[in-house]
Structure 1
């Protein structure tokens, strides 16, 4: 078992300016980076791989292969340094893995397997469901070391599951609806297992960031992931477009070839880099009972559970239109390439949204940021009504649709990052994998429930493939109006506060901390409400997804 560190006795994860052998002035200077170039020591690396790769990296030790003459530890939170290339490749492949197959598989379901709107929405729900289970993956990573380590072993297993799932789908040649949905769920589970561990590693590395830069490494990871998502969307549009599969070109991979390609990418670009990855020591030795107690106490504070309920409500308001993919394919007769390029440009604008947040909005007021991004995003969502009615002001429908989705994605991602860093600096040491996974899972759970609501709405209106193909789009129009209107509801609560004075949405990290300083402002009832809503949402999403899988024509 991996040696754990009691943070009360020997805190190994010290800031860079606390390194022995330097004055305060020198160490503060080191936070800006070493003036000498770091060196790779082959001998130390061979030793690392042969004897120490299953042990955590001690930041105070000189026995590492990534040698810095001044012993500055700023490289630990630098995503571009050699030991973090595995993380860099992970987030890039994570973006590709979440986007490259999305368009080909959806097109395959609709055009080759005649899947209904409920089935295609369930595909989205099933590939999103693992995001709602990250907290359980985080618990296992924090509590149960495997092969002596808490992170890297699960990181490897997650990617192997992802690779094998794609190989299995490729072996099936032309999988049916059930096989496609279930194995898509399993492959996403593997990817999210690795992603949960990667998030925990990033959070551990971020302890070396200064207070002013807290969350910067996390932002860089999301940017890299969205770049991967953009490239994956382009690839998905290009590789699956042959005439034999219903496309418009004379060439392209079959759906089997798409799965093979997706399996090869992480196998060639992630697995080799794992040999260079460090693992930092767990700060304290906790069991399941103490970890659950710590989670409960963290959530029970009014300054946590009240804003978290707003986060849930905000995500719940983004109800997806389940008929939209079918409308694009069967109604507007967009090809796989056109839809792929549409979402490629959407991914690109999401990257621009993340970059814009880091460059221009990193220190902005969260409430003002959420107010204008929510309103603008809602307006662009309503503009999709014009696409249904055919009033596109003379613009080609593909151009009009691209503008809607792209600009909406930009504003949604500008608003996304504050949720990610809201409680970043308050997570207790030794619980990084679990509590951060709990926070991010909470966001994902609300999105999963929103998708489920969309699927339920599809059962109340006529959005069948036959209706859409026959230009009976009244059901699509109703769903577009309903889902767009719901998106604007959070605007009325952004500036709200509880009777005890807790802001529903803190304005910045400092206000988040200020709302949590008073230990008496806590509520067990609030924590129980949080976990009841958390568990109930996951169970409801699973049951609905299973129902649609086995009864695809139920509505």
Structure 2
């Protein structure tokens, strides 16, 4: 819920409500995604530093506690008035705006967004820390599965995660589709009210992470020996090839433009509700793809499938971006429909990459290996779910 909702507020709240510039909105997106890039360090911490003899559960509790604290803090903050007192001003030609109209704009709205972005980033650090510990435990379980069915556990977990991200999109789609958010509803929640809802969802996860998860006591590990073993693993050909690929893929597959949200709002004229509805459909396709790939894709040629999926996504992204840029097809359903189609190759690529990570991880370094190889992967899934 939290992982799907916080990034989902960027377009309706930061861009439409506060009217922050495209560069600021893109910076907010980068800041929310940045903690995923440090998964390897969170993984090393949870591998090497057991708390009360446990390596995973305490970090899950601490992570969700930090996230919950930030959500409560944002609940108590004032979002202020929207930048435009009347939503019709947002779509008017700048030359048609009179000095009297401009005088009614809330110029301080731009400055309000910064503190919310900062606190959302801290909340993201919390749920990433919890996610790393949970992923490391998932790797331990997945490695115990029979070879013929290995991958079922991780596929099931990611299906559940995607399902709740769909729920979060429904929440933000209806709660943030008021006219002040660029939608067409006469009702909406304020940003602090939405944070209150997330706080209510987040709080039970803290005791659940401790009392409902079974973990064996671990004596700890000598950090020097841990680094030596990890370095030996990194020097193995399969490992450094995958790391090199993930590093380069993280660079070339995650290029973004600062004008993405302005294009979506002013050229494609996308409403928050329609954006969330199509995101829900895309996540549904993504979840179904996870299931069928996990069930039937274990014996596929992973290299060829990964290459095919990457080329497919690039071609589809190119078509929709170019046709919208050159005013050949500026339609919100065309703009939103192509990412739904991309969910199929993205889902296949995502599952294949998680299979590879489970096979590479060794005993005792599950968190670091999964974090090292999976950082670009989680950013990509996170961007897709947004």
- The normalised TM-score by structure 1 is 0.59
Question: Partners of 1:343 and 1:255 in 2: how far apart?
Answer: 20
Report the alpha carbon displacement of residue 129 of structure 1 after superposing the two structures with TM: 0.9
Q: Which of residues 55, 65, 68 in structure 2 aligns to 1:150?
A: 55
Question: Partners of 2:267 and 2:26 in 1: how far apart?
Answer: 17
Could you tell me whether the CA contact under 8 Å between 1:285 and 1:430 is conserved in 2? Answer: no
Match of 1:198 in 2: 134
Could you tell me whether the CA contact under 8 Å between 1:233 and 1:347 is conserved in 2? Answer: no
Structure with larger RCO (C-alpha < 8 A, sep 6+): 2
Match of 1:310 in 2: 245
Question: Can you list the C-alpha shifts for 1:383-432, whole angstroms capped at 9, x where unaligned?
Answer: 2122333434xxx8222122211011221121122222214234221222
Could you tell me whether the CA contact under 8 Å between 1:351 and 1:410 is conserved in 2? Answer: no
Question: Partners of 1:352 and 1:99 in 2: how far apart?
Answer: 18
Match of 2:168 in 1: 232
- The normalised TM-score by structure 2 is 0.83
Match of 1:428 in 2: 362
- Tell whether 2:222 aligns with 1:287: yes
Question: Partners of 1:400 and 1:245 in 2: how far apart?
Answer: 21
Q: Tell me, what secondary structure is at the counterpart of 1:122?
A: helix
Question: Partners of 2:279 and 2:130 in 1: how far apart?
Answer: 25
Report the alpha carbon displacement of residue 273 of structure 1 after superposing the two structures with TM: 6.2
Match of 2:97 in 1: none
Report the alpha carbon displacement of residue 444 of structure 1 after superposing the two structures with TM: 5.4
Q: Which of residues 254, 258, 263 in structure 2 aligns to 1:322?
A: 258
Match of 1:97 in 2: 2
Q: Which of residues 180, 188, 191 in structure 2 aligns to 1:255?
A: 191
Question: Partners of 1:103 and 1:276 in 2: how far apart?
Answer: 29
**What 5-or-longer segments of structure 1 have no aligned partner?**
1-95, 452-555
Could you tell me whether the CA contact under 8 Å between 1:104 and 1:237 is conserved in 2? Answer: no
Match of 2:72 in 1: 167
Q: Which of residues 292, 300, 315 in structure 2 aligns to 1:356?
A: 292
**What 5-or-longer segments of structure 2 have no aligned partner?**
81-111
- Tell whether 2:368 aligns with 1:416: no
Instruction: Name which one, 1 or 2, has greater alpha-carbon Rg.
Output: 1
Could you tell me whether the CA contact under 8 Å between 1:97 and 1:232 is conserved in 2? Answer: yes
Question: Can you list the C-alpha shifts for 1:175-223, whole angstroms capped at 9, x where unaligned?
Answer: 7222122111110110011111101111122232112222221111111
Question: Partners of 1:276 and 1:374 in 2: how far apart?
Answer: 39
Question: Partners of 1:179 and 1:210 in 2: how far apart?
Answer: 49
Report the alpha carbon displacement of residue 248 of structure 1 after superposing the two structures with TM: 1.4
Question: Can you list the C-alpha shifts for 1:334-357, whole angstroms capped at 9, x where unaligned?
Answer: 222122223222222221221231
- Tell whether 2:150 aligns with 1:214: yes
Could you tell me whether the CA contact under 8 Å between 2:72 and 2:199 is conserved in 1? Answer: yes
Question: Partners of 1:167 and 1:285 in 2: how far apart?
Answer: 34
Question: Partners of 1:244 and 1:376 in 2: how far apart?
Answer: 37
Higher mean C-alpha displacement, 97-106 vs 115-124:
97-106
Question: Can you list the C-alpha shifts for 1:306-336, whole angstroms capped at 9, x where unaligned?
Answer: 2321222223222223322221123333222
Report the alpha carbon displacement of residue 277 of structure 1 after superposing the two structures with TM: 1.6
1:261-410 mapped onto 2 (5 Å cutoff):
261-268=197-204, 271-272=207-208, 274-282=210-218, 285-318=220-253, 319-384=255-320, 385-392=322-329, 397-410=331-344
Q: Which of residues 31, 34, 43 in structure 2 aligns to 1:129?
A: 34
Q: Tell me, what secondary structure is at the counterpart of 1:226?
A: helix
Could you tell me whether the CA contact under 8 Å between 2:63 and 2:127 is conserved in 1? Answer: yes
Question: Partners of 1:142 and 1:188 in 2: how far apart?
Answer: 21
Could you tell me whether the CA contact under 8 Å between 1:214 and 1:425 is conserved in 2? Answer: no
Q: Which of residues 363, 371, 374 in structure 2 aligns to 1:440?
A: 374
Q: Tell me, what secondary structure is at the counterpart of 1:134?
A: helix
Report the alpha carbon displacement of residue 270 of structure 1 after superposing the two structures with TM: 5.7
Question: Partners of 2:164 and 2:299 in 1: how far apart?
Answer: 26
Question: Partners of 1:168 and 1:312 in 2: how far apart?
Answer: 35
Q: Which structure: greater helix fraction?
A: 2
Question: Partners of 1:330 and 1:418 in 2: how far apart?
Answer: 37
Question: Can you list the C-alpha shifts for 1:72-106, whole angstroms capped at 9, x where unaligned?
Answer: xxxxxxxxxxxxxxxxxxxxxxxx22222323333
